[in-house]
Every structure is written in C-alpha cells, then in structure tokens.
Amino acid sequence: GPALLFVKTSQGKEEGRRFYACSACRDRKDCSFFQWEDEKVSETRLAAREEYNRNHQPSFTHRQNVDRYKNFVLLPLSKRRFCQECQQLLLPAEWEKHSDHQFLCNITTAQLKSPSQLLYPLENKKTNAQYLFADRSCKFLLNLLIDLGFRRVLSVGTPRLHEMIQSKASQEEEFSVRSLLLDIDFRYSQFYTEDEFCHYNMFNHHFFGGEAARETCRKFLYEENGERIIMVTDPPFGGLVEALASSFKKLMAMWSETEKEGHDNKEMPMFWIFPYFFESRILDFFPSFSMMDYQVDYDNHALYKHGKTGRRQSPVRIFTNLTPSMIVLPEEEGYRFCPVCQRYVSSANQHCEICNSCTSKDGRRWKHCVLCKKCVKPSWFHCSNCNCCTLEKHSCEKSDVGCFVCGKAGHKRSACPSLSCT
C-alpha cells in the first residue's frame, strides 16, 4: 500500500528533508523502498518497482484461497496436509511439489478453526511483531464485550480474538457475536471468507482488496437491529502512534458515516491494546480515552506474561473511550473497584489522597513526591541536582540540547513529533 511521509532532521535543526518509506516495515532489510519527497523517479526505476511488486504477490488470491479451503475440508483426515515451510494448506495434487518440505498431517477441523495456532507467528519486531493473546486475556476480552452488550467486533490485528468468536459462533447456536478481521497477514485468507477477513494495513488504512474489501468493512460497520459494534485493536508496539491513530480515526469516520441516527458527535467504541508507557501519546490523539489497569498477556512473548511481579509484569493495557466504571476487572486476579476514581484498579494501585487518583501505571504501588508534586515509581528518588525523581543510580549531567532530533526540550527522541509526518 501507500508509503508514509517521514522527515530526516539533523541535531538541533528545525528544517529537515522529507522522504517516503514503507509504512509497515521499519527495517530496510525487509523493505528497501526509499524515495525523497522532491526526487524525480525515472521510468526505468518505476518499471523495476512495478516488476518487483508483481513478483512478490501471494500465490493465490483471496477468492482462490476460499475455494481451496472448501475443497480441503471435503478431504478425508488422512489427506489433509499443511506445509510448514510455505505456511499453506495443501491439496493432494500439490503434495509432490512440496515433497521435500516439512508438513503437518491429519489436520483436524479444530485446527482449521484455530489458524493462529497452526500458522507460525511472524515475530520480526520491526515488521510484524505478531504476538498473540494468551487464552486468559482472550476469554476476558470476549466475556467483557458480551457483558457490555456488543454483538459485533471489528478485530484490527487481533486474529486470536477473531478466531475465538468465529469458533464459538460455529459451535453454539445461542452465540450471537460476529467478527470481521482486518489484518496485514494474508495467510489468514486461507481460512476465512471475504466477509470474515480483509487484508488490511493499519499503518496507512489500506485495503489490499480495493473497493470491494472497503465495502465489506462499511457493511459490517452498519448497525442493524440495534446491534452495537466495537473496534478492538492490538497493533505492533514499535509502530508509530500517529500513523495508527490516523488509520483508526478513518475507521471511526467510516462508522460515523453509516446512515444511522445517533452517531453525531459520538466516537465509535474502541479498545486499543498497547503498553502503558504510550499513554500520553495515545491521549494526544484521543483525549476521550482512559487507560485501564488490566494486564494483557501473550502466549509467545517471553516478557508479557500475567502473574509475574514487580517490573516483570506485563506492561500492556487497554485504552478505551468507554466509561471506565463500565469496565469490570476480575477480583480473583487482584483487581478492586476504587469508589473515588470510579474504576477498577490493580490491588497494589493505592489511591493517593494528594493526587486524588490511583496513580500507579505498572502494577506496583507508587509513592508521592511532595517536591515533584506527583506520584512516582517506588524505585525512584528525588535528585536535587536534576530537580526531579529518577533512579538512584543515574547521571546528573543534563543536556542543554534536549531532544536529539529537533533540539527542543520536554520530550525524548522516540516521542519527537518531527520523526514522522502522516
């Protein structure tokens, strides 16, 4: 899909040179596309780029994959094979072509209903960062959505939540929740129809299936029979917040444009799942959002696990524009309701009478610093030289330059607004 516009700046300089780069890959090894904004591209280079794109298209279209799936499920169990090297369901006529590859045999219906467990997670941190919800978090999210009265879920980069909804819908007649998965991983087109999955890039709001896929999303967003809808998204944590926010606002706009009364001046309900240390960045773009204390954990991430203590706890939280008091967190997992803040908090998150808030962000009990006039992490101490709280062992050498990118004070390089332009 379309590239994003970035700006390359020198230390301390206001002006920078703008360039286009891949929206999804943050490593040139994965995508070498680079073009200065003011650069004139030759016809030869454009032709070479088009040729490269043609050679890197998937082996089958989404429609072909749907037809292949229909034929695959008709096969007896002994003839159901999945190539682990190509990450592809195989029909008997294709076995010979993959004869020297590793493959799984006897693929069951249960496995087909859980493709996120059949496919290898794409864990390249600078491209896909495909970490999958642990069963605990997935069940909690689904039960919460049902309790809140949502009957349709726009699952943006949340394949495990989508497959849990799809699986329950196929097994339980009374289950009335539906889901549409928007994801950049085209492998899921092998398991879902065009009404269940859209190949989508959340960094530039690009539907690879064109207007047909966009219309599928529009139709899903249209609220029929009073069925409430919510967007749940779990983006790669290394992605640019402003690029993600831009796409999410466009999805919200698609919802608000549906011909239904009551959308005026309202935001589409949303759960944005992201680490707590991005709170200020998310609130910059969505001031109506609040961060919940619930710790989201993942199956295939070594650090983001529930049940660990101290700094080893998962930093991933739920940001939402729903009223915080509506988000009921499980008491058996150590959450309690704060009547003053009117929201559920971690048991270690004690209410500060001075701040008049439950101030902890990371699951530990924070302490109030009268000099900083705010609560800080328990491992921090007030440094008279720096005139703020910080780690006990730190360097007091304060740079006059400020941010390395733009030279301004008040933010770090990673949060510099000059880093990108969307």
CATH number of the domain within which 196 lies: 3.40.50
How many residues belong to the chain?
A: 422
pLDDT of amino acid 417: 55
* DSSP string for residues in 284-343: HH-TT-EE------BTT-SS--TT--GGGS--EEEEESS-GGG-PPPGGGTEEEETTTTE
Using CA atoms, how far apart are residues 202 and 188, in angstroms rounded to an integer?
A: 16
Using CA atoms, how far apart are residues 347 and 322, in angstroms rounded to an integer?
A: 22
* Neighbouring residues of 290: CB distance < 8 A, sequence distance ≥ 6: 319, 320, 321, 324, 343
Residues 148 and 254 occupy one common structural domain = yes
* Residue whose entry in the numeric block shows the structure tokens 């094979």: 81
Amino acid letter at 245? A
Which domain covers residue 102, as residue numbers? 62-107
Start-to-end C-alpha separation, the chain: 14
Q: Mean pLDDT across the stretch 151-174? A: 93
Q: Mean pLDDT across the stretch 294-316? A: 68
Residues 20 and 76 occupy one common structural domain = no
Q: What is the pLDDT of residues 221-259, one digit of tens each?
A: 987 777 899 999 999 988 899 999 999 999 999 999 876
Look at residue 360 and tell me if it is in a domain: no
Rg of the chain over all Cα atoms, to the nearest angstrom? 24
Q: What percent of the chain has pLDDT over 90?
A: 59
Look at residue 297 and tell me if it is in a domain: yes
Look at residue 393 and tell me if it is in a domain: no
Residues 156 and 202 occupy one common structural domain = yes
Look at residue 93 and tell me if it is in a domain: yes
Look at residue 8 and tell me if it is in a domain: yes
Using CA atoms, how far apart are residues 242 and 420, in angstroms rounded to an integer?
A: 8
Look at residue 285 and tell me if it is in a domain: yes
* Residue whose entry in the numeric block shows the structure tokens 């707590």: 276
Residues 78 and 48 occupy one common structural domain = no
Q: Specify the pairing of strand 228-233 against strand 150-156.
A: parallel
Residues 102 and 141 occupy one common structural domain = no
Residues 176 and 294 occupy one common structural domain = yes
Q: Tell me the average pLDDT of the chain.
A: 86
Look at residue 180 and tell me if it is in a domain: yes
Instruction: List, in sequence order, every residue forming a beta bridge with 298; answer none if it has no partner.
Output: 133
Residues 185 and 313 occupy one common structural domain = yes
Q: What is the pLDDT of residues 107-155, one digit of tens each?
A: 999 999 999 989 987 755 444 456 788 899 999 999 999 999 999 999 9
Residues 33 and 89 occupy one common structural domain = no
Look at residue 381 and tell me if it is in a domain: no
Domain boundary among 347, 362, 386: 347
pTM of the model: 0.86
**37 and 4 in contact (C-beta within 8 Å)?**
no
Domain boundary among 326, 347, 368: 347
Among candidate residues 259, 322, 261, the one with its CA nearest the CA of residue 288: 322
Residues 144 and 272 occupy one common structural domain = yes
Q: What is the pLDDT of residues 29-73, one digit of tens each?
A: 778 888 888 888 888 988 988 888 888 888 899 999 999 999 999
* Residue whose entry in the numeric block shows the structure tokens 């599928």: 216
Residues 75 and 169 occupy one common structural domain = no
Domain boundary among 15, 37, 56: 56
pLDDT of amino acid 396: 81
**Domains in the chain: how many in total?**
3
Residues 268 and 301 occupy one common structural domain = yes
pLDDT of amino acid 32: 81
Residues 75 and 214 occupy one common structural domain = no
Q: Strands, E, within 91-132: which ranges?
A: 103-105
pLDDT of amino acid 418: 52
Top-confidence residue, 125 or 408: 408
